[in-house]
Chains A and B, each alone.
Chain A
Amino acid sequence: MGWSELRPTRRGIVVVAIAAVAILLAFGSGVRSLHAVSVTALLGMVVGAGQLRLAGRPTIERDEPEAGFPGERRTVTVTVDSKVPVTVDERVGRGVAVVEWPDETPLGHGGTFSYTIELQRRGRRNLGPASCEQSDSLGLFVRRVRPDETATVLVYPTIHPIDGRTVTGVVERRLGSGRGSFDRLREYTGSDTMRDIHWRASAKRPPDEFVVTEHRRHVDDDRVRIVAEADDDSVDEMASAVASLAQYLEESGIGVVVDLPKESIRSDPGRRERLLRALALTDGGSVDTDHGRGAEITVRGEAGRATITVADGDVDFETLVTERRGVVA
């Protein structure tokens, strides 16, 4: 950064013009005070330029918003630290869009403001880097800087409610296997979290005793295996299809194991963040055939569509969707 980055503002130009006029007039008349005008005005320019030159770059901190689905909105809170007044112009990556921007973002000497984004496309989306305009405290010069700090927000794939006819067979087989997935209650021990405490049941117990619900551990057997593959141009559709299937199954109380090109994720009802996260980040590719055996459902994305394969045959995912949801940017 150097002196050449500084540009005068409109106010700065006015001040210089006043100084110039004062100097010119001082030549003609003998008025001493005109020198005071020009000297002081020029000193003001020097002070302003010097302050801006010496001020460091602003630092920006953003609160990373929680992950969400396309169509949801998130508030991003930005804290800017700057020794001189700064105006922030935020840029967001593709896949999210700014929908609400505060009216006033001259921030003064640093400060905090918030804006709202809408999540649009699956993936890890960038917030920032911002473009800042710093000015000196007297408002005579400005310079533009681009602090590096960015934050990201994770956008999950869209989940569509689906008609479960095709996968009914799979479901029945699972549910029919008898073992219910009741949760059971047991006494609180030191290693339980407060979240698991069943309050209503605890109310019936003496004050010092608590009960927690224990989720039944799912055995792999109980989970439906889904294999998911996709060409590079159809990953979104594949992810969306997998997520929607997993959602449907989970609503029936069935967990899934998803084999993605790079990893394999287990997902249980109520604990689906890991799967969603993996689906949000997954790329195209194929799953090696060893793994692929024993899959009850295969999802394949190609040419912009996702195809579901179950024992009975192939079906286009689109045909399963009962209600199109979400926004595809």
Chain B
Amino acid sequence: MNTERVVDPALAAVDRVVTPRWIAITGIAGVLWAYLSVLHRAVVILGDPTALYAVVAVAAVAGALLSRLVTTRTAIQIGAVGTALCLLVYLRTLPGGASFLALVWPMLGDVLSLLGGLSVLRIVNADVWALTAAPGPVFLTTYLALRGRYAGATAVAGAALGFVVLTGDLTPTATAAGVVGALAGVAFGDCDRRGERLREADGTVVAIAALLAAALVAGAAPVAADSVGAAPGGGTPTMEADLVYAGDTVSISGPIQLSPEVRYRVQADEEAYWRVASYDRYTGDGWVRSQGGSAGDGLASPPGDSRTLEQEYTAEADIATLPAAWRATDVSGVPVPVQVAGNGDLEPASPLAEGESYDVTSEVPTASPGQLRSAGTEYPDGIEERYTQLPASTPDRVGERTERLTANADNPYDTARVIEEWMKEEYRYSLQVERPEGDIADAFLFEMDAGYCTYYATTMVAMLRTQGIPARFVTGYSPGQQVDDDEWVVRGSNAHAWVEVYFPGHGWIEFDPTPAADRSSTEQEQIDEARLEGSEAVDIDVTENQSAAAIGPEEDPLVGAGETELQESEGTGATNGESVDGSDGISVPVPSREQVGIAVGVTLFALVGARRLGVDRRLRRQVWLRRLPDDDPDRTVIGLYRRLLVLEDRPKRPSETPRAYLADADERAKRIGSLYERAKYGNGVDVEEVSSATAAYESLLEERVRVPRLWNRRGGSR
């Protein structure tokens, strides 16, 4: 059959609007978007994103305007000067004053650390940094892209993307999308430079669609693993891995399990929470330990009353973190070099091997509730700003809820106690919870009715911060199984998270909103299971056959008993009605964003491929051949003739007359041809002639074509 061009007006219209130039610019914009998303996150966590929008808009507009006005060299100079100015602005905001030279070296060191995997979120003034890191790349990329220098624009945007990839802040999906966007930018940029139209550039569309589909499919496997957590070999992460081995960033998981292996033994006069690390920056879905949070002298003694607690820790397995009761004032006997951070975290240079031990002397605060109540709210500047940080995306209702709940409490200590008790009463302890979307604290307060210590502690800190009370998230181990008067055995299942609240004159005081009995019984269950399975590291000699139930404190171990009588402002009944059962009911499977992305990519590829192969054209032609014209007699015959031309083997030359063309053809075809001539040039045809032409065409169709009938015959009469 010949190919007859069936021109589609819809496609022509699309062709005019969607040009390769705009697809290239979109691709490059996508790369920039991925970069800006990281900056946006930093700004949201620390403050107000409005400033970032403004800065980006100004830089983009400047780039767009100047793309018409100045040469590339000038633009690059402007970009360089602008970036230098921004850098100066950032440097001025750092503690340490305005001495430029003194800051250059550490700044270079910072840049190197960032490139080595230091998350942007850990930077002290991450929001200011983000504001100063945005304009340069945005300006240059916009300028170059609008100027048609697609390779240059892609290079600038790509470098920015690479930077946030190296800091570890960009998700793999966004990274893959960014790379595809960059390739699309240069490929369609080539099309634009060659002056091609989208219709002609089929090859590029197919290639990019194929790449997108392949990248999404290939990324699906690691992406799925991403959402489950960084557990080696996949599967449910352990509490210990999430909390104690988290390093600088705590990501909050969904369902979690406990690891029952013995970690170490502690010898001390009394039990305590064996603290490992604290985190100051709440991101909405996890915790980050900022660089500023670690500054200061870690071994200072707490202000206020305290008593000394000597501890000796012996490793029963290789351990990479060094617990110590709050607050450590001296560390000795450690076989590896140890740094003590300003927030009290012990940072060993390398892990301790089994059998090694170390000693810690701590001063445990012993302030009474009365003293804490009257501590006041004169917080030091550094403490207040850092430890009351909440992301701008935190819903207001968190603060409102906390207000109502603690309306009766008129000092920070009572507020903290109300929240602590309320949470113990209100929520069920469970390791099997679905990780909520959105802000963790908000979800725990309004959507969940059960959780584990990470959720309890996170929510309590967030609630305290909404009231302007400095609080932080702390990880470590609960006391563990007591095997002797002064000895405890600590397992991975004892990994725990709790809260520290700051009181002027007393320092950081511990609170624990997780119901202790539930927690220890869950721990016991896991250990019993492991014992049944015969797992080896569950027990050492002293612990065998003993219940591992910690005689853990029902209340805060540091505050005396008897102070538990506190009125809540609302009965629990009223609160029950509010909480939505989000974790137990049957949930409708909503496709994740990644799955949607994959579906979109594959569909796009299939559509483009089909178009490329002409499938749509062929389909349309086949339908057209079978759909007989149903019009006035002349037009019907003309329509039949046109279809005949497509059916015939040899293409008709424009100069050939119908008669000449059909000279060797079938009788039926000749009939149609002559009727056509009459219809078009002659006196017209009548109804009988139409039906004979139709009959002739139909019989030809049956011979030449498989499946001649799509639907019942219409038009023409028998």
Contact = CB atoms under 8 A, between A and B. Distances in A.
Interface in B159-184: 162, 165-166, 168, 170-176, 179-180, 183
A44 B117 contact: no
A137 interface: yes
Contact of B210 (A11, A32, A34, A47): A47
Contacts of A85: 190, 194, 203
A83 B173 CA distance: 31
Interface stretch (A63-71, A101-109, A240-248): A101-109
Given A33-B165, A44-B183, A85-B190, A110 B172 contact: no
A51 B116 contact: no
Contacts of B214: 43, 46-47
A39 B196 contact: no
B166 A36 contact: no
Interface in A45-72: 46-48, 51, 55
B180 A40 contact: yes
Nearest to A82: B203
A15 B151 CA distance: 12
A30 B117 contact: yes
Contact of A137 (B171, B175, B203): B203
Contacts of A51: 203, 206-207, 210
Nearest to B202: A109
Contacts of A34: 165-166
A40 B215 contact: yes
B480 to A, nearest CB: 30
A41 interface: yes
A44 B180 CA distance: 8
Interface in B188-208: 190-191, 193-196, 200-204, 206-208
B235 interface: no
Contact of A139 (B116, B176, B186): B186
B179 A139 contact: no
A84 interface: yes
A35 B222 contact: yes
B432 to A, nearest CB: 26
A31 to B, nearest CB: 5
A11 B179 contact: no
Interface size class of B (residues with CB under 8 A): 35 or more
Interface residues of A, number: 36
Contacts of B210: 47, 51
Count chain B CB atoms within 10 A of each CB in A34, A40, A44, A51 and give the residue with the most: A40
Contacts of B173: 36
Nearest to A48: B207
A37 interface: yes
Nearest to A135: B190
Given A32-B222, A108-B201, A137 B207 contact: yes
Contact of A33 (B168, B187, B200, B206): B168
A31 B151 CA distance: 27
Given A29-B168, A36-B172, A108-B196, A43 B215 contact: yes
Interface of A: 11, 15, 25, 29-37, 39-41, 43-44, 46-48, 51, 55, 83-85, 104, 106-111, 136-139
21 contacts: A11-B151, A30-B168, A31-B166, A32-B226, A34-B166, A36-B176, A36-B219, A39-B218, A40-B179, A40-B211, A40-B219, A44-B179, A55-B203, A84-B203, A106-B190, A108-B191, A108-B196, A108-B200, A137-B201, A138-B183, A139-B190
